[in-house]
A and B are shown apart, each in its own frame.
Chain A
Amino acid sequence: MNNLIKGEKHDWEMVIGLEIHAQVKSNSKLFSSSSTKFGSSPNSQVSLVDAAMPGMLPVINKYCVEQAVKTGVGLKAKINNYSVFDRKNYFYADLPQGYQISQYKYPIVGEGKVTIDFKDGTSKDIRIVRLHLEQDAGKSLHDQNPSKTYVDLNRSGVALMEIVSEPDIRTPEEAGMYISKIRSILMYLDTCDGNMQEGSLRADVNISVRKPGDEYGTRCEIKNLNSIKFIKQAINYEAKRQIEILESGGSIEQNTMLFNTSTGKTRPMRNKEEAHDYRYFPDPDLLPLEISEEEIGKIKLTIPDLPDELKNKFIETYRLSNYDASVLTAEKQTSDYFNETIDSDLELKNHAKIVVNWITSELFSLLNKNNLDLNNSPVSPKNLAQLIKLISTNEISGKIAKDVLEDMFSSGKTARQIVDEKGLQQVTDQDEIEKVIDEVIAENPKMVEQYFAGKDKLLGFFVGQAMKLTKGKANPKMLNDILKLKLIKKN
């Protein structure tokens, strides 16, 4: 694959690394017992610790630590038995302590990797540098009052995992695939809800460009992107900006950039000289975090099948193609739905490919049209299984089944109910089909003549006519077979 982009003068390669901030799925905050519920009224989930009242002290939430370890295992990373919380010092109105508790020198999780799969069947490993735990800040609201800024501390102290990649990414698409894959893994692990709209998953993008084979160029960091679309847009814009500067003889300043989602442009927020000196030092209010191999082992036991393992399992068990299996496992809800469907009828195990198709094409397109997803699908896995069973036992044709599915989708009825009520059972009675074919042949003598004269394609015409007469219910295979026989006989 050619990953280069054309400038005016040269071809350029992008070098991209991501820092993903994933909110830990946990009922309470990293160092306090306040709730982490999204969308509550401002400052309703703020403890004395979150508000940094004098004399208040952080106490580590064990569950968040376990979630981080779980995530580390899912990223095939090294779990560090010893890690340290540091204070990152800076002033901002929504940072009540005047420092963020984070992990600097000794993160809880070390090197790992994530595999991304391309459509052409190839794949690529993106290396993870580290994962560490840190607190989220609160939120400054500048638009509530013309002369004041309001501060909402509900988010203050919520646990985040910062997942830092090596600069192994070379295209915006890879960046998108990487973050999708991370999101998928976290959701399989149930360590992050993956909700990018609510900010549960966001990324800072480090990007530079170079001529192929050159050393890394100077990078810029684009802050706080909360959708895959924006990430790709921002990368494309930023790469183009850097290339234009370099090709016109300029040099890149190491800046921190903001991305404007309405204009699609990046602009500098601060340069290297203006960068904060965060004065990191170990937080004296907290002891170093020590996790034994035994504890890690216990956490490992709770790890479910992850997308890559599940994909291989699907390929092996159901003989699915690599592509089908990766579509099924890209999102946990899809593989869950598939599993539930196939588990509700033993016979479906032999028709896995049909199940995949019905989920990923027919059901997905209906869900898409209605702005729904599998989690709130009106058609349950059990009902879909029943529909597919009706197809596989030749009770209804595939074509009729599509109508039935639409009906199920809107009415909430089962496939059985609909088929019975509307009399949609396939006609498989030999005599009945023969009767219809005879009728068609009798009514179209000219066509029959032409067919015998060599116009083989007309077979389809006869099939269509016969189907029409049976309202589409005739078993297509039987219809075809009988028709061919009859037309030979005539000869």
Chain B
Amino acid sequence: MSKLSLKQTLKDLDTKKISIRELNQDYLKRIKEKENLNVFIHFSEENVLKQIDKLEKDDSPKKLKGIPIAIKDLFCTKSMPTTAASKILKNFNPTYESFVTQKLLDEGSIFVGKTNLDEFAMGSATNTSFFGNTINPLSKEDEPLAPGGSSGGSAAAVAADLCLGATGTDTGGSIRQPASFCGVVGIKPTYGLCSRWGIAAFASSLDQAGIFSHNVEDASILLQSIAGFDQRDSTSAKVDIPNYFENLDDDLNGKTVGIPKEYSIDGIPMEISQIWEDAIKILEKKGVKIKNISLPHTKYALPTYYIIAPAEASSNLARYDGVKYGFRSDEIDSLDEMYENTRAQGFGREVKRRILIGTYVLSAGYYDAYYLKAQKVRKLISDDFNKAFKECDFIVTPTAPSAAFPLNEKQNDPIKMYLNDVFTVPASLAGLPGISIPFGEDKNNLPLGIQILGKHFDEQQVFNVATSLERSYE
């Protein structure tokens, strides 16, 4: 399977080596062949053909003209339904286009479909979706593997070459971990780089849109397209967006990498420690200074995350009540019953679990002990990074504590599932940019990922390190 890169495809389209129609028909064909992976919640060939027709009549130059992109089904889109993988939004058709998808449309990209995810992005295996599991394209026939989550559908779409790039959202690792599991590149930019407008909210202070792609260059092209200030999102940042791709520079000579000792945890597979060491060695060869750093509050990151994210989610998901749109239970005799039955029937187990946790930690008498304390710890974690970044330019760690696991593993053990986010959550709490790139394999030839974290809004540095590691690994 030789996958075309976005960069190469843009050239081929430009030189008319291939037409927009030919290109997309190729992807349509593969999408239909790979239906068994359950990558898409919504896919309509007709819709894709319509977009091709429209673009063929459009003479204006566009940066991503004709490029097939898959959209995580958490982004509201006018031309396709938006479900958040939940029964409660099963038949929801937004009348508006999210900031991020609008930008991609403005650049002329083609949306091939809406990808599967964990319900409301709550999960690490794309197994809490109302629309069923997505299967990792790298699975062997006899043992289906999880693609990671929550953006498992988008990661799988790129891995199976069903598109040239995909959008994801990352709250605690939902882009980086599935990227690692599926052997693709996934970047979560700095909190505030991409507007959250039009993305169904999970945890507002953590949610951030990002990109999956075949390689770092492609990611740098696509991220530039979806980033930017939006006055409709009060947490959106007013920063200049550089041309990441043009500025890519793999010369890291004289830079300093931070290696956090707290990320060496017990029980982590040997291969993962190995690739981490390999990465450090490559960097050293490139003239990068190695600096051992300490992020002392790392061990509190997971519990902190699992208080703050559910707290916000419990409030964010209150709007799904059966009153205005989406699913409403038939069995209702009173207002209370409408709420109870609509939400009992409309939400899945994991979403309900998190709503309960979130409601609990915000309750009178528990607020100070849980939510308030978690906010304080979050600040400490953030301070850890700020201190560390005084001594180094970027930080390198593994992305996830394991390679892709079998589909049904951990299904009934939420705590084990939550541990998947151990390396990704701290940067989420600190709002830092992070990328996962494929880096080595485990003993079963499953891909592993290396995570590169940068300073706030220093996506360029993250891309530079990523591209440098990527090139030397190849």
Find B98's partner among A55, A279, A286 (CB 8 Å cutoff): A55
Tell whether, in the assembled complex, residue B315 and residue A58 are in contact, meaning their CB atoms are under 8 Å apart: no
Known: A59-B231, A284-B204, A285-B204. 19 other contacts (CB 8 A): A52-B319, A54-B94, A54-B200, A54-B201, A55-B197, A56-B198, A57-B233, A57-B234, A58-B234, A89-B318, A97-B318, A98-B319, A99-B315, A149-B335, A277-B363, A279-B363, A281-B371, A284-B203, A287-B234
Docked complex: A91-131 residues within 8 A CB-CB of B: 91-93, 96-99
Complex Cα spacing A285 to B362, Å: 17
- Indicate if A482 sits at the interface (CB-CB under 8 A): no
Tell whether, in the assembled complex, residue B318 and residue A281 are in contact, meaning their CB atoms are under 8 Å apart: no
- Chain B residues with CB below 8 A from A286, complex form: 234
- Chain A residues with CB below 8 A from B314, complex form: 89, 279
Tell whether, in the assembled complex, residue B234 and residue A48 are in contact, meaning their CB atoms are under 8 Å apart: no
Tell whether, in the assembled complex, residue B233 and residue A52 are in contact, meaning their CB atoms are under 8 Å apart: no
Complex Cα spacing A277 to B367, Å: 11
Complex Cα spacing A59 to B232, Å: 6
Interface string of A172-196 (1 = CB under 8 A from B): 0000000000000000000000000
Main secondary structure of the interface of B (DSSP, over half): loop
Docked complex: B160-216 residues within 8 A CB-CB of A: 196-201, 203-205
13 A-B residue pairs with CB within 8 Å: A53-B76, A53-B96, A53-B325, A57-B234, A59-B233, A60-B234, A87-B315, A89-B315, A91-B318, A91-B339, A97-B318, A279-B314, A286-B234
* Smallest beta-carbon distance A129→chain B, Å: 21
Interface string of B244-262 (1 = CB under 8 A from A): 0000000000000000000
Complex Cα spacing A91 to B201, Å: 18
- Indicate if A151 sits at the interface (CB-CB under 8 A): yes
- Indicate if B92 sits at the interface (CB-CB under 8 A): yes
- Indicate if A51 sits at the interface (CB-CB under 8 A): yes
Find B234's partner among A59, A92, A96 (CB 8 Å cutoff): A59
A279-B315 CB under 8 A given contacts A55-B196, A55-B201: yes
Measured CB to CB, the residues of B under 8 A from A are 75-76, 82, 84, 89, 92, 94-96, 98, 196-201, 203-205, 231-235, 311-312, 314-315, 317-319, 321, 323-325, 335, 339, 359, 362-364, 367, 371
CB-nearest residue of chain A to B372: A281
A54-B92 CB under 8 A given contacts A99-B318, A279-B359, A281-B311: yes
**Residues of chain A at interface, number, CB under 8 A:** 30
A52-B234 CB under 8 A given contacts A89-B362, A279-B363, A284-B205: no
- Chain B residues with CB below 8 A from A151, complex form: 323
Tell whether, in the assembled complex, residue B367 and residue A281 are in contact, meaning their CB atoms are under 8 Å apart: yes
Complex Cα spacing A284 to B171, Å: 13
* Smallest beta-carbon distance B323→chain A, Å: 5
Interface string of A45-78 (1 = CB under 8 A from B): 0001001111111111000000000000000000
Complex Cα spacing A52 to B323, Å: 11
A93-B323 CB under 8 A given contacts A53-B96, A54-B84, A279-B359: yes
Tell whether, in the assembled complex, residue A98 and residue B315 are in contact, meaning their CB atoms are under 8 Å apart: yes
A98-B321 CB under 8 A given contacts A55-B197, A59-B234: yes
Tell whether, in the assembled complex, residue A57 and residue B197 are in contact, meaning their CB atoms are under 8 Å apart: yes
- Chain A residues with CB below 8 A from B82, complex form: 54
- Chain B residues with CB below 8 A from A91, complex form: 318, 321, 339
- Chain B residues with CB below 8 A from A87, complex form: 315
Find A285's partner among B75, B235, B339 (CB 8 Å cutoff): B235
Complex Cα spacing A204 to B197, Å: 36
CB-nearest residue of chain A to B323: A93
- Chain B residues with CB below 8 A from A96, complex form: 319, 323-324
- Chain B residues with CB below 8 A from A97, complex form: 318-319
Interface string of A271-294 (1 = CB under 8 A from B): 000000101110011110000000
A287-B318 CB under 8 A given contacts A52-B324, A55-B198: no
- Chain B residues with CB below 8 A from A92, complex form: 335
- Chain B residues with CB below 8 A from A53, complex form: 76, 94, 96, 324-325
Which 9 pairs show the lowest CB-CB distances between chains A and B? A98-B318, A284-B204, A284-B205, A279-B362, A54-B200, A52-B319, A55-B198, A277-B364, A55-B199
* Smallest beta-carbon distance A53→chain B, Å: 7
A51, A87, A281: most-surrounded residue (chain B CB, <10 A) = A281
- Chain A residues with CB below 8 A from B321, complex form: 91, 98
Complex Cα spacing A58 to B197, Å: 10
CB-nearest residue of chain B to A57: B233
A54-B196 CB under 8 A given contacts A48-B96, A149-B335, A287-B234: no
Complex Cα spacing A281 to B203, Å: 13
